Chains A and B, each alone.
Chain A
Amino acid sequence: MPVCSYLAYPARGAKKELAKELSALRYCEVTPSENEEILLLVTDTPDEKEEKALQDTLKNIKSLQSLGMTFGHMDE
């Protein structure tokens, strides 16, 4: 099911906290970026339900200002 990658923009001054919060989530892999202001996030969820739940969780993370998708794959 869905594999996506994102640039994760932290809220002001909250990059460390964001890295911690994202790493603690299931199906999420966080990689530091050469560009020190942002983080790279790869998500890999097993099904639609989990994907939706993950999206809802991401929306509620205060230290996350926005996500910019760079890649997405979904098996039909």
Chain B
Amino acid sequence: MNINRRSFIKSMALKSAVAAAAALFPGISFGAWKEADFPSGMIQWKKTPCRFCGTGCGLLAGISGDRAVAVKGDPNCSVNKGLCCVKGYHSIQILYGKDRFKDALVRKNGKLVKVPVQEALDLVADKMKENIKDHGKDSVAIYGSGQWSIADGYTASKLFKGCIGTNNVEANARLCMASAVTGFMTSFGLDEPMGCYDDIDHADVFITWGNNMAEMHPVLFSRMLANRKSKKHVKIIDFATRTTRSSQASDKSILFRPQTDLAVANAICYEIIKNKWVNWNFVKKHVSFHKGKTNIGYGTQDHFKFKDKAETVDLNKYKAFLQDYTPEKVEKISGVSAKDIKYMASLYGAPDKKVTSFWCMGMNQHTRGTWINNLVYNIHLLVGKISTPGNSPFSLTGQPSACGTVREVGTLTHKLPHGVVMKEKDRKMAAKIWNVPVEKIDPKPTYHTVEMFRALDRGDIRFMWIQVTNPMVTMPNLKRYREGAKKDGRFLVVSEIYPTPTSDVADVVLPSALWIEREGFFGNSERRTQHNEQIVPMPGNTMCNTWQLIEVARRLGFKKQFPWSRETYIEDIWNEYTRFHDSPKHRMAPYKVLKARPGVQWPFVNGMETKWRYNPKYDPAAKGDDFDFYGKPDNRAWIWLRPYEPAAESPDSEYPFWLNTGRVLEHWHTGSMTRRVPILHKAVPASYVEINSDDAANLGITNGSRVKITSRRGSIVMIASIDGRGRPPRGMVFVPFFDEKYLINEVTLDAFCPISKQPDYKKCAVKLERA
């Protein structure tokens, strides 16, 4: 390498570290690539949302010839204002892994062999027809993703729900966002946050609930730190079950025992009422009180069913309910001192402080995920700190289009692009837009994700098409579902870009075009839709996922419903899809506007984005003079009486440790992309188990030694990490799930929240041994 270029790269390396350090934050670099314009005028910069997390940073991909060669943060994108994290910076390299699938593969005599893509698509359509004929429409299913582009999810939903007539449509966002959705629906009647990232610039206090933002939402975390740096009084409180990089950068770290966030949230409300911090004007005008069922189970058995029932109660009942949650009582359950509970309550209660709460998987992957979402809304509602700049209960998403594709398009068994399959009005709307008879759309939901894989194991589902996700790494209690997928009579189609444990069990692999190799849309955590054009050519015989679905739909006889041309189909799909959301509550921006800007927030009404919903000052759908919670029939936000109930499985004498699983900054989910980026792989080459140093000493485990982790479902041997970047408290271990060599989900439990059906990946019981 030429010396000048090398010293330039070194100076950029140093600059990014300086910038990161200035923000006190690990793993982020500030627009240093700007100077990478230097090699010549040959690099063309094109906008795209980042491929990875739900933050939805705007990137500029630098293109030279046919190849993406550089990345920088898009200074025009309000999400990240030119910032980018280490994953974003290296994102274009995911396009160029050596073992990329570039051809279709079909299993013949037990081996995957290359075939022309058209032949593979014929086989997929034939197998679907055969199964529908022999076993009925509900024997075929599609399992997609919060990384699906909006057009992919929309096409899948139209084909399966509208044309085939089965509600066997699910997506991996069930594993990450379902509790957020049911939390929003039960508290406000409409999904997705009322606020936006601008809240970060306005808030005085941030409380993060089980949310390691420094690693999972690094750019947003850095915006929080920037706010704190510019205003000395700003405080960040990290409320979590283990100490992380977020704890290190926070003003205060408070640890709670797993599952007891339920009790602490109620105790905060108890204190708010006791200390007369309630905003009575707000509560009397805009809030109603409700109670649901209790002792609701954990869903570990097949065919588990649960339906909640809301009962309206009054304020006195709520106050009586909270008597079980005095800070002193909750200290015993949660391990959080009464003093710290009172401190958190005082921050929420202070009339002059604007408070934003953030959460993500810690609250959503929870067997009472819906409840804990409700309880944090309760806190904000009691003090009226909501829907104004800086006052925001903010549920963050993990994936780039969990909101855009799964929640807004509705790629879940009970959902339609507008509304739910159970409602005739919603079915009629879908049938009209989809040009199918209304009777075709089944009014009964079928299987949520865990139950869908159970159905595949039982043989109720016999054909499954998996796109943009890797369930043979991510399903909890994995062994059962992998064995199920491999049984005779099952047919699996996997649309993928690289070999994974899921493509290993496929009967057909369809080679997919990735991210900027095709046109598409994502929708991020703050209701922002982001468009990217096709920036580089598709390699080999790869094909866009949307187009794969269209090809199969046409082979199944649905040409009329999928008439679009290859040149304009993404635009045509957008124009059709947005007819579902044509009201001031959810209007989406037109294609042309999305193409021109680095993202637009919905509702997009009269050419304006809506930053804060339910507040007439900002939201054209809201009526009245202050707030209008128009999602609920009583035009109020709902406070819920939700008790503390224990986890599905807690440590005992045989299995004395909690197992908590999650992610690391450098890797994206199962690592199928980021492990192929040399620099990210080098940063964290293998998964490990974090163990508390005292526990390790008791067990004779040293840093780097091998540890066997065993649960009632399986065991795994991994390398110990003691006092590394994350430090669990005594009695807990933490394992990142990005590494397919260590399938930690063979150990986890498939218990889920009975309301949202989202599994709890954060809590099950294990034992440890030196290996």
Contact = CB atoms under 8 A, between A and B. Distances in A.
Nearest to A73: B9
A24 interface: no
A2 B12 CA distance: 13
Contacts of B243: none
A38 B29 CA distance: 16
Contact of B20 (A3, A51, A70): A70
B1 A71 contact: no
Contact of B679 (A2, A29, A33, A68): A2
B723 A70 contact: no
Contact of A7 (B12, B20, B666, B682): B20
Main secondary structure of the interface of B (DSSP, over half): helix
Interface string A27-69: 0010101110010111010000001000100000000011011
Interface string B2-24: 00001001101110111111101
Interface string B675-708: 0001110110000000000000000000000000
Interface string B643-679: 0000000000000000000000110000000000011
A9 B245 CA distance: 11
B268 interface: no
Given A2-B682, A65-B723, A69-B86, A34 B21 contact: yes
A41 B682 CA distance: 16
B482 interface: no
Contacts of B28: 70
A44 B10 contact: yes
Nearest to A33: B21
B90 interface: yes
A65 to B, nearest CB: 7
Contacts of A38: 21
Contacts of A31: 14, 17-18
Contacts of A74: 678-679, 682
A44 B723 contact: no
Contacts of A44: 6, 10
Contact of A73 (B13, B19, B22, B24): B13
B330 interface: no
Nearest to B11: A42
Given A6-B17, A66-B724, A69-B86, A75 B10 contact: no
Contacts of B679: 2, 4, 69, 72-74
A3 B10 contact: yes
A31 B32 CA distance: 17
Contacts of A6: 17
Contact of B13 (A4, A34, A51): A4
Given A3-B6, A71-B89, A41 B22 contact: no
A5 B24 contact: no
B607 to A, nearest CB: 39
Interface residues of A, number: 29
Nearest to B666: A69
A72 B90 contact: yes
A13 B12 CA distance: 29
A70 B6 contact: no
A55 B684 CA distance: 11
B725 interface: yes
Nearest to A52: B682
Contact of A42 (B17, B29, B723): B17
Nearest to B30: A70
Contacts of B417: none
A71 B724 contact: no
Contacts of A51: 682
B26 interface: yes
A74 B89 CA distance: 13
B162 interface: no
B471 interface: no
A75 B678 CA distance: 10
B4 to A, nearest CB: 13
A74 B29 CA distance: 17
A27 to B, nearest CB: 11
B736 to A, nearest CB: 14
B236 to A, nearest CB: 15
A71 B18 contact: no
A71 B24 contact: no
B153 interface: no
Nearest to A44: B10
Q: Which of A65, A66, A73 has the most CB of B within 10 A?
A: A73
B683 to A, nearest CB: 5
B27 interface: yes
B22 A71 contact: no
A71 B86 contact: yes
B86 A70 contact: yes
B26 A70 contact: yes
A5 B20 CA distance: 10
Contacts of A68: 20, 26-27, 245, 665, 725
A33 to B, nearest CB: 4
Contacts of A73: 9, 12-13, 679
Interface of B: 1, 6, 9-10, 12-14, 16-22, 24, 26-29, 32, 86, 89-90, 245, 248, 665-666, 678-680, 682-683, 723-725
Given A9-B248, A72-B90, 4 more contacts: A5-B14, A68-B27, A71-B32, A72-B679
19 contacts: A3-B13, A4-B679, A5-B13, A6-B17, A29-B14, A33-B21, A33-B22, A34-B18, A42-B14, A69-B679, A70-B20, A70-B26, A70-B27, A71-B32, A71-B86, A72-B90, A73-B9, A74-B678, A74-B682
**Shortest beta-carbon contacts, A-B, top 7:** A68-B26, A72-B679, A5-B13, A5-B17, A71-B16, A33-B21, A40-B17
Interface of A: 2-7, 9, 29, 31, 33-35, 38, 40-42, 44, 51, 55, 65-66, 68-75
